[in-house]
Structure 1
Amino acid sequence: MEKKINRNNCPRTTRILMNGKETVCLTLDGRLLFYQADTGSLLRELRMDGETILAIGLHPDGDKLRVATDRQMHLVEWKQ
């Protein structure tokens, strides 16, 4: 049975991005949750070390996310 990413496994989400294989959710409490798109399995969780995440977006190369915080811009790899 195919699992879907939904409010139960991506709670309190303010932004969702997809690259085909993975989905990233930005939560209200400032976490980036990386899910496998086809199974809905949580792959990893990332916090920006005390920084408040203001926005996320796709990087033009498709392999990274642009993460804007209250302190600076970050490039985050889709894969760890």
Structure 2
Amino acid sequence: MSAPVGPIMQQLATLPARSRQGLSNLRQRLFQQGEKPKKEGQFLRTSLNVHRPVWITASGGVYTSLAAVYLATRYLKRIR
């Protein structure tokens, strides 16, 4: 059982055109003149504001863990 070769060849024929289009889009994004849209910056600010409690909680957890490790190593030195 062999697969039909016709559709595969058609897809291979359209590949160079699609890759040229993709490269054109990439070139436009990389070398775009002007500023970025304001929506991206606004989204980032909004996201950080929404997740502020998570960052505060995580920072407190890291601080507590590091303090516990420091105290444990300090007291383990006295055991010797």
- When normalised by structure 1's length, the TM-score is 0.19
Q: Which has the higher contact order (CA 8 A, sep 6+)?
A: 1
Larger radius of gyration: 2
**Would you tell me which structure has more strand in proportion to its own residues?**
1
**Would you tell me which structure has more helix in proportion to its own residues?**
2
